[in-house]
Amino acid sequence: MSGGAEAEAGRVADAEWVADAGQRADAGKGADTGPAADTEPTAGTAVADSGQKAPPDEDRSTRAAVATLYRLTAGHRTAVTVATALTLAGSALGLAQPLVARQAVDASGSGQVVWPLLALLGALFLVEAAIGSTGRFLLERIGEGVVRGLRTSLVGRLLRLEMREYDRHRNGDLIARVTTDTTLLREVVSQALVDLVTGSLVAVGALVLMAWLDPLLLLLVALTVAVATAVVASLLQGIRRASEHMQDSVGAVAADLERALGALPMVRVHRAEEREAARIGARVEEAYDAGVRTAKLASVMSPAVELAVQGSFLVVLVVGGLRVGGHAGSLGDLVAFLLYASYLVLPLSSVFHAVSLIQRGMGAHRRVDQALRLPVERTGPSVARSRPGPSAPADRPALLLHDVRFGYHPGRPVLSGVSFAVPHRRHVALVGPSGAGKSTVFALVAGFHEPDAGAVLFDGLPATELGRDACRRRIAMVDQNTHVVHGTLRENVTYAVPDAPETEIRRVLALARLEELVDRLPDGLDTVVGERGSTLSGGERQRVALARALLARPALLLLDEPTSHLDAINEAALTTVMKDVAQECALLVIAHRLSTVQHADHIVVLDRGRSTSCGSHEELLARDPLYRDLATSQMLRPGGGPSADRAGRRTNG
């Protein structure tokens, strides 16, 4: 079949498929539950919140904070109970020691044998120490366990977010949520929880005994404590806000540092180190200010707690003393009551301290929780299959786009009607001016976003029926950013197929012309390439990305300007490789360079988000003014070779 006849056949097939796709897509839409259904909320969460600030109606009360803390320890209840029991037992043993010491002193004064009492005292101390350290270890382990759980969930979630979420959030800030925010939460869980539980239990015990001894005096104590509680409660809100601000600032420090480190050559060349340092320094200042504000509020809490404790003492002493003086009560009762009032001191202050720490931790928790609520990609089908079985007839094109419309933001369309097909074992080029939407088409084919309307079909099956996983299994992609990650060259090449046999690896290395590089590197394939492949040249990175894509033996290979970093020799070689690859799979290439366009079976012209025409190079030169303009600007002659574009100019000129 001649090139023209083939193109015609392709168009006829496309037309049939476009009609069929329309029906399938429409059928799918009835069942489509929309983008909202594509989100997977975390178990137990109700409101999705992707913003940076806390929602205005968020419950910031201490009760809600304690409930949150309780939820956080869901998988550790037994350990929390044991740790609490051990801490309580330790406190009881600690309280018993002064009594034994007093007896020992009295016994020694009256000439009695004291060593059994001293032995008991030593035993009490040792058991208390053993119980105390076991309790502390358990608490620390619970804290680590909670942090491990949160970090695991966060990492799992952050790697699976919907693509638009990465545009909305800064990477450094997301990383800070996994690192610094969870670390603060660990402190809260391991310290505050048990302080709160044991402190409350001991305080309640003391209060019960005080009520039994003298309800009137207890009422007076309760009033004093209530005043102090009101003061503490009013401070807690401020502590929470300051802590939230501090954690946000720390996240911003991480994000800004990541920004600078990610563009180090730009920073250095423009001598912007100081500017960047000042910018990050401003964030550090914000974190400092928020930290100092937290400390200020926390320090105001201490006198409030002292008021509760000493005020109670004074009230009991004065009122109780007056009553004893008036023969309304015994001196013994007053002494006992005062003793129990003293037992309130430590537990009460530890409860107040725990509550303040919990509120501080809630700032970090909000940030962690927000990240855990961000919507993630659903990898399975988003609509029900309209016909059973995943297999498709062999005559369907590997890829078909039918009247695809899409915008990154509502009301601002980027694609407004894109239709074309990529048949199996064909090489299709996508050309168009800069900003026409070529990379966006790739993003939709790769399932990074879903079309607002229209359909993307693989082998005749709508992507929504197949699900992202199944779609992605069919494709490999080399985009403009040619991702190479820190690790060995082998890890980078075999990223898609980690257990690929050596012969396959050698095959793709040869295809991508990487053999010479491998021979040159000190440890061959096992040489470590730096962060983002920094020890490789741009062309080498591009060829590594190509080898990786080829190793996956995809049904459809997407290449975004694959020759942009290559010299003339490698470009010519890659053109041959693309011809070979097109024998094995469908090839869709975004072409900025003419060499890539001319060898394509079809060329699709994209203009302002629309596919305006399709045909061979010669056909388009003859009938498409935009294509002719693009070609003329690059001195492209009908039937000519890749003569004009050696300097790396792009069709969008």
Ligand X SMILES: Nc1ncnc2c1ncn2[C@@H]1O[C@H](COP(=O)(O)OP(=O)(O)OP(=O)(O)O)[C@@H](O)[C@H]1O
Q: Which two tokens stand for residue 274?
A: 């100081």
The residue among 414 and 529 lying less far from ligand X, judged by its C-beta, is 414
Should residue 652 be labelled a site residue for ligand X when binding is judged by CB under 6 A?
yes
Question: At its nearest, how many Å lie between ligand X and the CB of residue 300?
Answer: 46
Q: Which stretch binds ligand X (CB under 6 A): 24-32, 430-438, 492-500, 628-636?
A: 430-438
Q: How far apart are CA 433 and CA 388, in angstroms?
A: 41
Residues 627-646 vs ligand X: string with x where CB under 6 A? --------------------
Q: Which stretch binds ligand X (CB under 6 A): 32-40, 294-302, 351-359, 428-436?
A: 428-436
Count of residues engaged in binding ligand X, rule: CB under 6 A: 12
Q: How far apart are CA 30 and CA 430, in angstroms?
A: 31
Q: Which stretch binds ligand X (CB under 6 A): 53-61, 260-268, 432-440, 593-601?
A: 432-440
Report long-range pairs for 481-486 (Cβ below 8 Å, ≥24 apart): 482/533, 482/538, 482/541, 482/542, 482/544, 482/545, 482/565, 483/532, 483/533, 483/545, 484/529, 484/532, 484/533, 484/536, 484/541, 484/544, 484/545, 485/532, 485/533, 486/528, 486/529, 486/530, 486/531, 486/532
Q: Which two tokens stand for residue 538?
A: 């741009």
Q: Which stretch binds ligand X (CB under 6 A): 94-102, 294-302, 318-326, 427-435?
A: 427-435
Residues 86-125 vs ligand X: string with x where CB under 6 A? ----------------------------------------
Q: How far apart are CA 652 and CA 366, in angstroms?
A: 46
Site for ligand X in 380-409 (CB under 6 A): 408
Q: Which stretch binds ligand X (CB under 6 A): 70-78, 435-443, 570-578, 626-634?
A: 435-443
Question: At its nearest, how many Å lie between ligand X and the CB of residue 166?
Answer: 9
Q: What 3-state DSSP class applies to 278?
A: helix
Question: At its nearest, how many Å lie between ligand X and the CB of residue 561?
Answer: 8
Q: How far apart are CA 623 and CA 88, in angstroms?
A: 88
Backbone angles phi, psi at 184, to 5 degrees: -65, -40
The residue among 68 and 439 lying less far from ligand X, judged by its C-beta, is 439
Question: At its nearest, how many Å lie between ligand X and the CB of residue 462?
Answer: 22
Spacing of C-alpha 452 from chain mean position: 25
Report long-range pairs for 570-576 (Cβ below 8 Å, ≥24 apart): 570/513, 570/539, 570/543, 571/595, 571/642, 572/642, 573/513, 574/512, 574/513, 574/543, 574/546, 575/599, 575/642
| CA-based torsion, 501, 507, 510, 514: positive or negative | negative
Should residue 434 be labelled a site residue for ligand X when binding is judged by CB under 6 A?
yes
Question: At its nearest, how many Å lie between ligand X and the CB of residue 429?
Answer: 13
- Radius of gyration over alpha carbons of the chain, in Å? 35
The residue among 412 and 520 lying less far from ligand X, judged by its C-beta, is 412
Q: Which of 309, 400, 414, 484 binds ligand X (CB under 6 A)?
A: 414
Should residue 438 be labelled a site residue for ligand X when binding is judged by CB under 6 A?
yes
Site for ligand X in 144-203 (CB under 6 A): 167
The residue among 4 and 435 lying less far from ligand X, judged by its C-beta, is 435
The residue among 368 and 436 lying less far from ligand X, judged by its C-beta, is 436
Q: Which two tokens stand for residue 35?
A: 């983008």
Q: How far apart are CA 229 and CA 224, in angstroms?
A: 9
Question: At its nearest, how many Å lie between ligand X and the CB of residue 638?
Answer: 24
The residue among 143 and 437 lying less far from ligand X, judged by its C-beta, is 437
Question: At its nearest, how many Å lie between ligand X and the CB of residue 453?
Answer: 17
Q: Which stretch binds ligand X (CB under 6 A): 116-124, 254-262, 437-445, 612-620?
A: 437-445
Adjacent-strand bridge partners of 587: 427, 557
The residue among 194 and 399 lying less far from ligand X, judged by its C-beta, is 399
Q: What is the DSSP letter of 183?
A: H
Question: At its nearest, how many Å lie between ligand X and the CB of residue 251?
Answer: 22
Q: What is the DSSP letter of 376?
A: B
Q: Which of 251, 363, 437, 467 binds ligand X (CB under 6 A)?
A: 437
The residue among 436 and 505 lying less far from ligand X, judged by its C-beta, is 436
Q: Which of 191, 198, 359, 440 binds ligand X (CB under 6 A)?
A: 440
Q: Which of 98, 435, 638, 653 binds ligand X (CB under 6 A)?
A: 435
Adjacent-strand bridge partners of 416: 405
Q: How far apart are CA 96 and CA 124, in angstroms?
A: 8
Spacing of C-alpha 431 from chain mean position: 35
Q: Which stretch binds ligand X (CB under 6 A): 13-21, 257-265, 429-437, 470-478?
A: 429-437
Q: Which two tokens stand for residue 528?
A: 């470590």
Q: Please, what's the largest Cα pairwise distance for the chain?
A: 121
Q: Which two tokens stand for residue 122?
A: 């030593």
Should residue 612 be labelled a site residue for ligand X when binding is judged by CB under 6 A?
no
Question: At its nearest, how many Å lie between ligand X and the CB of residue 500?
Answer: 31
Terminal-residue alpha carbon distance, the chain: 34
Question: At its nearest, how many Å lie between ligand X and the CB of residue 151?
Answer: 28
Burial (CB < 10 A; 0-12, 13-18, 19+), residue 488, is: middle
Q: Which stretch binds ligand X (CB under 6 A): 81-89, 283-291, 339-347, 431-439?
A: 431-439
Question: At its nearest, how many Å lie between ligand X and the CB of residue 301?
Answer: 46
Q: How far apart are CA 401 and CA 21, in angstroms?
A: 8
Should residue 436 be labelled a site residue for ligand X when binding is judged by CB under 6 A?
yes
Binding site for ligand X (CB under 6 A): 167, 408, 414, 432, 434-440, 652
